[in-house]
Amino acid sequence: MASKRQIRYRDAGVNIDEADRAVSLIRKHARSTFNPCVLTDIGSFGGGFEVRGYKHPVLVSSADGVGTKLKVAFLANRHDTIGEDLVNHCVNDIAVQGAAPLFFLDYFAVGRLDADIAGQVIGGVARGCRNNDCALVGGETAEMPGLYSGGEYDLAGFIVGAVDKRAMLTGAGIRAGDVLIGLASNGLHTNGYSLARKLLFEVGGYSIDHRLPGCEGTAAQELLKVHRSYLKPIRALLEAKLLKGAAHITGGGITDNLPRVLPSGLGAEIRTAAWEIPAIFELLRKIGDVPLPDYRRTFNLGIGMILVIGPKGVNKAEAILEKLGETYYRIGSVIQARRTRVQYR
């Protein structure tokens, strides 16, 4: 039967006025990332971007999220960094193929929209875009009552970059004897959070505000460190024609990610004594007595990016990294192997 009471969209849980306020905040953040290649404004049905400066451009794209690191942001009630995590993760994923980022789109979904929280999240996205010379040309803010728990949201990102076809990093030139240089991570980045939360909060009994033994700060401070962008060192080594390949160390750790850039018939030997594993990882392993294979496939263990450099170019590459202020380690080498895998010693 028809209701005698007028029912508005707000009665179903969607507040269009709050959505308009959120879009106003988002528009301000997005415009701060615009450059002359952006041809449309926020609010257009699609984002327009003019590709310039490439003879034979190849567009490289990627989509990703930040996983259950979101749960840590909810616990800490801190929402201003999670968007930067998202952008940097996506930037790294295309940078390892030689691409420079062009533009980014975000997807922010929530059960009940709070414009201020949305503004904080997208503010982080915009900051990540500015730091990587990438334009935030649009996205989607979706209010979906009943789909998310109170105070929670989901976040995903979509990036498009470009590279000249002849300059693509495919790993085809990698040979046995090439040197593996690891660039330092600053923490978990955006992987392993389901296990980390279980170990710290369920098994270890720590709270989000508890200072973690051996670490720099509280659980919130340690777990919400921003996923690093490695775009600058990768671009510098590409311009110097020293980089043969690169692997972004995300879910799967070194074990699963490094083989993705190695040609058939080659493997990698990693010297685990070449760098000191950060305290947060060792704490997590100790709490749960995590088996070594799981430990290496869940966390980055202090190495966020691995660069493949020819033996003759190593000294020059390290000089470039030092000039950029990068913390780096010679962590191993490429070896002949019947199947493409990582050996630890």
In a domain, 19, yes or no: yes
Q: Domain range for residue 262? A: 179-344
* Co-location of 230 and 335 in the same domain: yes
In a domain, 61, yes or no: yes
pLDDT tens-digit profile, the chain (345 residues)? 555 677 676 766 777 777 778 878 888 898 999 999 999 988 888 999 999 999 999 999 999 999 999 999 999 999 999 999 999 999 999 999 999 999 999 999 999 999 999 999 999 999 999 999 999 999 999 999 989 988 899 999 999 999 999 999 999 999 999 999 999 999 999 999 999 999 999 999 999 999 999 998 999 999 999 999 999 999 999 999 999 999 999 999 999 999 999 999 999 999 999 999 999 999 999 999 999 999 999 999 999 999 999 999 999 999 999 999 999 999 999 999 988 899 999
Q: Identify the CATH number of the domain in which residue 212 sits.
A: 3.90.650.10
* Co-location of 206 and 136 in the same domain: no
Write the CA distances from 243 to 6, 166, 306, 308, integer angstroms: 65, 14, 11, 6
Last residue of a domain, one of 106, 134, 167: 167
* Co-location of 28 and 140 in the same domain: yes
Last residue of a domain, one of 167, 195, 219: 167
* Co-location of 157 and 50 in the same domain: yes
Q: Identify the CATH number of the domain in which residue 154 sits.
A: 3.30.1330.10
* Co-location of 189 and 92 in the same domain: no
Give me the number of domains the chain comprises: 2
In a domain, 338, yes or no: yes
* Co-location of 199 and 125 in the same domain: no
Last residue of a domain, one of 118, 137, 167: 167
pTM: 0.94
In a domain, 79, yes or no: yes
* Co-location of 137 and 222 in the same domain: no
Angle (deg, nearest 10), helices 69-76 and 82-95: 160
Burial class (CB in 10 A: 0-12, 13-18, 19+), 339: exposed
* Co-location of 62 and 96 in the same domain: yes
In total, the chain counts a number of residues equal to 345
* Co-location of 133 and 228 in the same domain: no
